[in-house]
Copies of this chain bind each other. A is one copy, B any other.
Amino acid sequence: MPEPILPTYEDDFVFAESKPFALESGGSLQPVTLRYAVYGNLNEARDNAILVCHALSGSARAGDWWPQLFGEDGVFDLSRDCIICANIIGSCYGSTGPQTINSATGKPFGANFPLVTVRDWVRSQSLLLDHLGVEKLRAVIGGSIGGMQAIQWAIDYPERVENCIAIGSAPLTAMGLALNHLQRLAITNDANWRNGEYESGGEPMAGLALARAIAMISYKSEHLFAERFARNPNRNGEDPLRSLNERYDIGGYLDHQGEIFTRRFDANSYLIISKAMDNFHHANGRQLEHETLRRIKARVLLVGISSDWLFPAEEVKALAERMREAGVEVEYAELQSSHGHDGFLAEPQALALIIRSTLPANHFVDPDRRKR
């Protein structure tokens, strides 16, 4: 893992102070804080901004979790581009979320946090860009839930997006909805969850760990697991033939992934973001998908990941085809990887190569292109 790239600055943007931020679900929030990080500098024309959107458990610090996309072999050049990344509403990394004190009750929102959607996130980010004086994004990019945001940006703010890059993103299929449902059930089954009103020190750790472990099988592929873990006993010397608690290596791996996740993530945030992932459909709230997609003016690159079974490449490809039928300038590319959905984080060099070869540098820098 390369060193993280440090942000030029990190800040909080607070809005909806005087009137509530209305949410798609019908709920509202007031006020709203967005924690955001900026890498590089906005130029004078403020037309060199790239918005990076994070996935379920990510943070505003894109340089921590996508460092390989910065720099020479990456996609972004901090001497040219200004990267902006905002933590999504509902998360536990600085933006307003279930851990925030609800001004109406004086207590944390907990499970009373209102449902948020990808559209809400995108609208909140548009307010941040207004605040920063950025009218138009040279590109918006993300993987998974981050890619959902990129697609929604291109639909909801067609005039503000030049290039839209979404990796491993499409509306979830029934199997994806099933996997998310099981993860939420793992949390709400935990006696410590207490309808979301758990307190510090009494968090539903076991449930959150199981949710993460279920998610891990959906993020990876059977071939990667077969290669890495096969039917080996857990590497710490356990013998699965001996007792109920002794594990195969894959069991030890999943438990470990679950355990470390509980140290860094909040169960109520997990529920809210997982639900937003379920509910993403770019045509939600609009009658016809075709008409919705016709709104897009950005050049779009959709990347499917060959071994992804949470967002199967065929789903991503089919979305690209429907975009093309709607007149969108869209490219589909496939990242060959055994890492499954995680490929967008696990194979950043290969991903950067795909992005660079599909969206040549001049799409980012050629001012004539931007004016078209």
Contact = CB atoms under 8 A, between A and B. Distances in A.
Nearest to A224: B174
A266 interface: no
Copy number in this complex?
A: 2
A356 interface: no
Contact of A241 (B25, B174, B214, B255): B25
* Interface size grouping (class) on chain A: 35 or more
Contacts of A255: 185
B181 A250 contact: yes
A235 interface: no
Contact of A181 (B26, B182, B254): B254
Interface stretch (A32-40, A75-83, A225-233, A342-350): A225-233
Interface string A234-267: 0000001111100111110011000000000000
A207 interface: yes
A275 B243 CA distance: 9
A268 to B, nearest CB: 9
A279 B228 contact: no
Interface stretch (A4-12, A47-55, A60-68, A186-194): A186-194
A225 B182 contact: no
A217 B279 contact: no
Contacts of A222: 173-175, 309, 312
A207 to B, nearest CB: 7
A213 interface: yes
A272 B181 CA distance: 26
A217 B235 CA distance: 28
A234 B167 CA distance: 29
Given A189-B190, A189-B207, A222-B309, A279 B241 contact: yes
Contacts of A117: 241
B244 A275 contact: yes
B181 A251 contact: yes
A132 interface: no
Most buried by B among A117, A206, A217: A217
Given A115-B241, A174-B231, A177-B251, 15 more contacts: A111-B244, A115-B243, A174-B222, A175-B222, A175-B226, A177-B250, A178-B225, A181-B250, A181-B254, A182-B217, A186-B189, A214-B214, A222-B309, A231-B281, A241-B279
By Cβ-Cβ distance, the 7 closest A-B pairs, closest first, are A174-B225, A175-B222, A181-B251, A191-B191, A174-B229, A174-B250, A189-B206
Interface of A: 24-26, 111, 115, 117, 171-175, 177-179, 181-182, 184-186, 189-191, 206-207, 210, 213-214, 217, 222, 225-226, 228-231, 240-244, 247-251, 254-255, 271-272, 275, 278-279, 281, 284, 309, 312
